[in-house]
Structure 1
């Protein structure tokens, strides 16, 4: 069940991203974007998928309690008494309205359609944020930070995914980058600032949380952001210069590469949603146990009170140097345009080296 809910959360992010990307790119005038054809059925499928995928966490709660009072009574209580259930009803109603608009899309002015889709997507994002774990911890502040974080992520990811998947040719590329690069920077700043405010209430002891599965996924997510930022820099700066010099050069595969890098971040984010947040690391370890990866790489013998420190050693430094070298090689291979597979593979290798560098450096105080 955990794997299913994990993958459903990843697909939920992708569905929201497609709707956000469609809204933004349909609103942008034709002279400021590549020629593209976005199939209506893909956008409708994304809208239909949202209430289905969003039901998986509800089902998980139901299955957790069903053994005590029965499935029927449990699902009734969850849907009508739990905040998650109430939010889900609102989400379903909003999604139905959105699907109705998308079905009528050919009859509606494209810009009006993009505005309606964007507005309803934002409302659904707000509904999800109101039922988030952060909202239960710090109220409206949690809703606000989760909402900003989520909207910034799907706006950036969605624009890249829709551009990479549905562009027919890279015309108007310089005009496209004039607004896409600032949008990416704004989204990155929004993700970073909101992420910092989200981190304190959820994982106040960041390094200590690495003993837990949640902390491991959070660390991997933060490491995965580094090659993503690098890909964004290459697309927004280096490849802009390259395309100016050679207008025949096709940058779309590199936009897809940046989109895939965002999906890797989403993958770790989805896994975090299935784990116990580390408000009190020592207590969570006693209740849920430590991460199997931490046990394998560091130790399976944990003290009563968990306190980790980073103590660099020869192995961790060597792995860190290899991680930096991998990033440098990534930039070199990308600039030489030796295919998208090299940079993508090197990005994954960097994540592995950086992660192992930190894991071999941590020890108990």
Structure 2
């Protein structure tokens, strides 16, 4: 069931991104973005499947309670009294409104229509934040920080996805980058601040949390920010410079790489969000992540902490990481296929991760 939940949550985030990115770009005047061909059918599919994906964690709770209360009674109890169920009730209601909105309008390209779609999608994000782990631990701070985090990343990913895969051409790209660079920076800052607030609510000790599965996922998510920032800078500065020198230069592949990395972050987030957050007296030898065990097989108790000692392996992985950054720049300059650039990004994350793991000592 854990695998099903992970996949469903990853697709849930994609639905939010596609809907929010589409509606926001339809609000932007045509003179400030490339021509787009956004499929109404795709938006409708996202709106229909969104409450289904959001229901999977609710179903998990129902199945957990079923042996004791029976399926129907558990279903009724969760949807009427548990926060995760009540929040999903509102998710379903808003989804129905959004589905009718998409079906009934002739075109989504009118600013008023797209604006209403944006409001409904943001409302749906709020219902998901309401049912989050953070919201359960700290009602207002948890919900607000989770809402800002998911909204900011959905705006960022959504615009990149739609621009990268629904553009008919790359005309007016400089006009697009002129405003999107500020939007992406704003999303990054909002994501970082809200992420810190979430960590303050959920994670007692960030470094020590690396010993359990939740912390491992959080670390990998943060490491994928390294190539993300690299390609965000590429799209903001280098691509803009290349377009100025060569109007025929096609920047879309670099937007697609950035969107791939963000989708990877979404998947990691969906995976580790299903594990118990490191809050309270969480650390024990049984709770240690199998991934962390590959590097450290010490007996670990709640009194243990993580320290760092630089060694030969640390230095080796550091130079490998620098080499991979150089290869990423080389791939950009030589216009190599985006698959190679994405692979290099993954190898960079792996190298930095291994560098940290071999540097750790248990105290």
> TM-score scaled by structure 1?
0.96
The 5-angstrom pairing of residues 15-94 of structure 1 reads: 15-94=15-94
In structure 2, what is the equivalent of residue 163 of structure 1? Answer: 163
- Distance, in Å, in 1 between the alignment partners of 2:149 and 2:301 is 35
Give the gaps of 5 or more residues in structure 2: none
In structure 2, what is the equivalent of residue 285 of structure 1? Answer: 284
Shift in Å, 1:307: 1.0
Shift in Å, 1:108: 6.2
Shift in Å, 1:29: 0.8
CA contact (8 A) 1:331 1:343 kept: no
- Distance, in Å, in 2 between the alignment partners of 1:42 and 1:93 is 20
Q: Does the alignment pair 1:358 with 2:356?
A: yes
CA contact (8 A) 2:26 2:109 kept: no
Give the gaps of 5 or more residues in structure 1: none
Q: Does the alignment pair 1:331 with 2:329?
A: yes
The SS at the match of 1:267 is helix
In structure 1, what is the equivalent of residue 196 of structure 2? Answer: 196
In structure 1, what is the equivalent of residue 294 of structure 2? Answer: 296
Choose 305-314 or 73-82, whichever is displaced more: 305-314
**1:71-98 CA deviation, whole Å, 9 max, x = no partner?**
1211111111101101100110000000
CA contact (8 A) 2:148 2:191 kept: yes
In structure 2, what is the equivalent of residue 2 of structure 1? Answer: 2
The SS at the match of 1:168 is coil
The SS at the match of 1:16 is helix
- Distance, in Å, in 2 between the alignment partners of 1:151 and 1:94 is 16
The 5-angstrom pairing of residues 227-306 of structure 1 reads: 227-280=227-280, 283-285=282-284, 289-299=287-297, 301-306=299-304
In structure 2, what is the equivalent of residue 316 of structure 1? Answer: 314
**1:209-247 CA deviation, whole Å, 9 max, x = no partner?**
111110100000000011011111101110110111111
Shift in Å, 1:354: 0.7
**1:146-182 CA deviation, whole Å, 9 max, x = no partner?**
1111110000000000111111110111111111111
CA contact (8 A) 2:220 2:353 kept: yes
**1:282-315 CA deviation, whole Å, 9 max, x = no partner?**
53436x6211111112215223523111222111
Shift in Å, 1:34: 0.7
- Distance, in Å, in 2 between the alignment partners of 1:131 and 1:303 is 31
> 1:107 and 1:23, CA in 2 relative to 1: closer, same or farther beyond 3 A?
closer
CA contact (8 A) 2:10 2:266 kept: yes
**1:16-53 CA deviation, whole Å, 9 max, x = no partner?**
00011011110011111111100100011111111000
The SS at the match of 1:192 is helix
**Number of equivalences:** 363
> 1:304 and 1:199, CA in 2 relative to 1: closer, same or farther beyond 3 A?
closer
CA contact (8 A) 1:294 1:300 kept: no
The 5-angstrom pairing of residues 94-113 of structure 1 reads: 94-106=94-106, 110-113=110-113
- Distance, in Å, in 2 between the alignment partners of 1:312 and 1:20 is 44
Root-mean-square deviation (Å): 1.4
In structure 2, what is the equivalent of residue 11 of structure 1? Answer: 11
The SS at the match of 1:363 is strand
- Distance, in Å, in 2 between the alignment partners of 1:334 and 1:126 is 38
The 5-angstrom pairing of residues 144-159 of structure 1 reads: 144-159=144-159
CA contact (8 A) 1:212 1:285 kept: no
- Distance, in Å, in 2 between the alignment partners of 1:33 and 1:351 is 32
- Distance, in Å, in 2 between the alignment partners of 1:108 and 1:18 is 14
- Distance, in Å, in 1 between the alignment partners of 2:107 and 2:167 is 23
Shift in Å, 1:203: 1.2
